[in-house]
Structure 1
């Protein structure tokens, strides 16, 4: 199965608007540069609950037990310039 931007965006529709905005901004910026492993890691992240995902994004430290691709994506998300207002 080819993981296109359209397929990745289907998983972004969230209950919390901030998650939608952050994940869409990440995909807009990095989707073309993502490896297949990165895309699968992104899908895993989008399957986390809204609050768990929001906590991961705004926590200072990332768990050492996460797969390296998940850590890489979380670091890039944390470094996005987020202008919501």
Structure 2
């Protein structure tokens, strides 16, 4: 039996995909989301077809909205706690 590995999820999303990722309509997403899209145009032209939203930036925005970032414990170097 041949096993097929799933492709990794996309990191960069088109506008409609980013809105769906956030469970919003495109119009609500455009009005409320502060995450700026990345322009993938090689010459820097303003081409909406080449704008992508970074999933990690969307996660950070959602974490800020939910209060998770402010309530997260501070970084702790747990490995340094061992006597090695």
Measured against the shorter chain, the TM-score band is: under 0.3
Alignment TM-score, normalising by the size of structure 2: 0.28
Q: Which has the higher contact order (CA 8 A, sep 6+)?
A: 1
Structure with bigger strand share is 2
Alignment TM-score, normalising by the size of structure 1: 0.28
Which has more radius of gyration? 2
